[in-house]
A and B are shown apart, each in its own frame.
Chain A
Amino acid sequence: MKYIKKTIIVLSLLMFLLTFVACSTLFPPPKPKATVAVTPEKVELAFPGILRVPIVFTGTGWAPKEMVVVDMVLPQGVEMKGVNPGEDVGIAYGEADDAGNFKGEVPATAKLNTIFRVGWTPILAPDPKTLNPIPPGVYKIKASGADSGALATTTLEFVKPAPKQ
């Protein structure tokens, strides 16, 4: 009787474990984690010099061919025209290649609108009188995949321009 009881317990345990072993083959291998990095990591708030500095985001582990949108998180108190309080602001985007790598550069319009919060004249020229750079500091960057919903974060630091010699 004791022997039968033990056998039943062992068999039950085996059945229980087998369920997990069998089901594990149904799940695909884990996806690589999406990543994002920025070059350079530190940018001087110097105008018009910033227009000559490429700010480039790169990343891996995204779904093939998906659009990756890069947003900057605005700290409390940093106001931005066209952006509601609490919203992030888009600064770059790019399409992932077949291997899930993406690259996106901050366009000049984003540098003007977002980093320098510039106004525009009626003939579509940036108005230099309205230059209002964002406060220096470390800003959180969020990259998100339009298809996969994957999210990766990094930071981008804006520093005061070096004093002119």
Chain B
Amino acid sequence: MKMRKIFCGIIVLAFIGFIGAIQSPAAEKEVTYLSLADYTAAIAGLNVPGDMGTEDYFKELNAKGGVDGVKVKFIGVDTRYDVARGVSAYKRYRTAPKLLVANAIGTPIGKAVAPLATKDKIVQLVPGDGEFQAHIGRIFVWGPTYQDAFAATVDWLLADWKKKGKPGMPKLGYISWDSAYGKEPLRGGKEYAEKMGVTMAPPEFFPAGALDHTVYLARLAKAEVNYIFVGGVDPTPTNVIRDAHKLGLTKTIQFFCDYWGPTSLGVRLHPEALEGTVIVSYYIRGDDARKHPLANLWTKYGRGKLEDMNEVYTIGMLWAMTFEEALKIALKQVGYKKLDGEAMYQAYQKLTGLERAGLQGPCAYSPTSRRGSWEVRFYQVRGGKINSISGWIKTPDAVSLHKF
């Protein structure tokens, strides 16, 4: 009797195991994309909409079945300008299943995490530091480097000067955060300006968090500059130009901003002060961005009204599109089982010429290039809107002019 009970028990357990086995789905194939970003304060204006774009693009991709059945898991960590948090978060997630790419949206965290990411043989993305083009490794820049964009702006202002029929050569001023990011455009950009015969006034650097910029601007005005290039992530550049407007400088000096200059949302707040400001950008902005078919992901995934879409959302989609294409190549090369950071690294170097729906110039990644693209466009604030004033223009190579 006892034996019979034991035998029945074994049969029941085996049956339960069998049912469980046939009901559990096959283990889902997944890879991980890690974002180490500051989701608060100034850089939040870049990081939050940027990562929204990435997350939404991956949601869309996964809903369509992923890349050959492989889904992408997005992990976003708020590092709050804190390098210790960034390093700790990277260490925590470095063992995530098939972590292939870490995007460090901030220069200091990017530089701190680089040794670990390199040891782990994954791909790391950083904003625009030219040193990663000068020293080729596993770190890839989102677009043209900061110095390349600065050099393209020098070309633009020389053409503008000539068009206006002014004699001699213009003088250029520069103002930005007192940080590694703030100084980066001049590492090669300054050499390019000199090469082109443009004199530069001594650059002005102010601490992040400065409420007033009139002292720095007054010094540039005293140096009799004709153009001023303003760095910082919005709202900082908007606040600098607002102060310049108060001083009456915007009437006589043409102001420029870099990639992180005013978005359409910032322009709405200070349309008068920003009127005429020229923005150099490696991604589409203003109505160009909002009218793009991919912008519908913003509303589809409940981010709000389209007119409230921050154009930086576009950059996030670009990171994801680039990842998707590299994943396709890597899977083709090694298959899912052997897929790792090394395979992804090899794949990123094969993306040369990749078109990304016109959101950015063609991809320039190659075995010898870490630039996300070579091209920039110029936009200008007119009538409270950001309007395109150029097509895609290839930037000069300013990185090669500097000794890193």
Contact = CB atoms under 8 A, between A and B. Distances in A.
Contacts of A89: 85, 88
Contacts of A13: none
A126 B208 CA distance: 10
B333 interface: no
B80 A113 contact: yes
Given A82-B77, A120-B80, A124-B209, A110 B85 contact: yes
Q: Size range of the interface on A?
A: 20 to 34
Interface string A113-153: 11000011111111000000000000000001011000000
Nearest 4 Cβ contacts at the A-B interface = A90-B88, A125-B209, A120-B41, A82-B78
B332 interface: no
A71 B83 CA distance: 13
Interface in A76-97: 81-82, 87-93, 95
A113 B209 contact: no
A90 B235 contact: no
A70 interface: yes
Interface stretch (B111-119, B136-144, B191-199): B111-119
Contacts of B116: 67, 146
Interface in B91-138: 91-92, 112, 115-116, 119
Contacts of B211: 123, 125
A125 B112 CA distance: 22
Contacts of A110: 82, 84-85
Q: Size range of the interface on B?
A: 20 to 34
Given A81-B40, A90-B82, 14 more contacts: A67-B115, A71-B88, A88-B88, A91-B88, A92-B84, A107-B83, A110-B82, A113-B80, A114-B85, A120-B40, A122-B44, A124-B81, A146-B116, A147-B119
A18 B83 CA distance: 53
A2 B81 CA distance: 81
B234 to A, nearest CB: 9
Interface of B: 39-45, 77-89, 91-92, 112, 115-116, 119, 208-211, 235-236, 239
22 contacts: A69-B91, A81-B40, A82-B77, A87-B92, A89-B88, A90-B87, A91-B84, A93-B83, A93-B112, A106-B84, A107-B83, A109-B82, A109-B84, A110-B85, A113-B82, A124-B42, A124-B81, A125-B209, A144-B91, A146-B116, A146-B119, A147-B119
Nearest to A121: B41
Interface of A: 67, 69-71, 81-82, 87-93, 95, 106-107, 109-110, 113-114, 119-126, 144, 146-147
Nearest to B87: A93
| Residue among A70, A91, A120, A121 with the highest chain B CB neighbour number at 10 A | A120
B83 A109 contact: yes
A59 to B, nearest CB: 15
A124 B78 contact: no
Nearest to B179: A124
Nearest to A145: B91
A125 B91 contact: no
B42 A123 contact: yes
Contacts of B88: 69, 71, 88-91, 93
A67 to B, nearest CB: 6
| Residue among B77, B86, B88, B209 with the highest chain A CB neighbour number at 10 A | B88
Contacts of B77: 82
